Amino acid sequence: MEIAILGLGCFWGPEKKFGKIEGIVETEVGYCGGEIPNVTYREVCTGNTDHAEVVKLTFDPNIISYDKIIELFFEYHDPTTLDMQGPDIGTQYRSEIFYCNDQQKNISELMIKKFNPKYNSKIVTKISKVKNYTKAEEYHQKYLEKNQF
């Protein structure tokens, strides 16, 4: 199994979408990229921690490739809006790919080059090494499944 950690706005929607994809065996929402280990939702919402809301995917690379996951990443959000997705505004809603190894970093860079023309060269997605990942509070896990709208 491998891990992918992606920031694409509020983590509830992407968790639900990725959770339906064959080969993704587990989803978890959390925070990544900031300076503070073991951060809380309340701290992230202040905008002072530099963490992004993220979805952490455990996937079987024999069923789904990291490349395909990154393609879905670009389908599931607008990678051209800086520090926001839809009505959600703040650095925690930024578009960011957190890589776990050099192979993921290289694939992510290639995928941005591939998708940039589709978005008129306006992709603002950052690529960063995983830093201070913290699992979100339990009430955020599978939130949309628990709270049918």
pLDDT in tens, 43-80: 999 999 999 999 999 999 999 999 999 999 999 999 99
For the annotated catalytic residues, the residue numbers are 10
For the chain, what is the domain count? Answer: 1
Q: What is the mean pLDDT of the chain?
A: 96
**Integer Cα distance of 56 and 29 in angstroms:** 6
Cβ atoms of 37 and 133 closer than 8 Å: no
Which CATH number is 84's domain given?
3.30.1060.10
What is the Cβ-side half-sphere exposure of residue 7, based on CA atoms within 13 angstroms?
33
Range of the domain at 26: 2-143
**Integer Cα distance of 127 and 14 in angstroms:** 18
User: Is 149 part of any domain?
Assistant: no
User: Is 84 part of any domain?
Assistant: yes
Closest CA to 13 of 62, 72, 61: 72
pLDDT above 70 covers what percent of the chain?
A: 99
User: Is 74 part of any domain?
Assistant: yes
**Integer Cα distance of 70 and 52 in angstroms:** 17
User: Is 148 part of any domain?
Assistant: no
pLDDT of 7 strictly over 90: yes
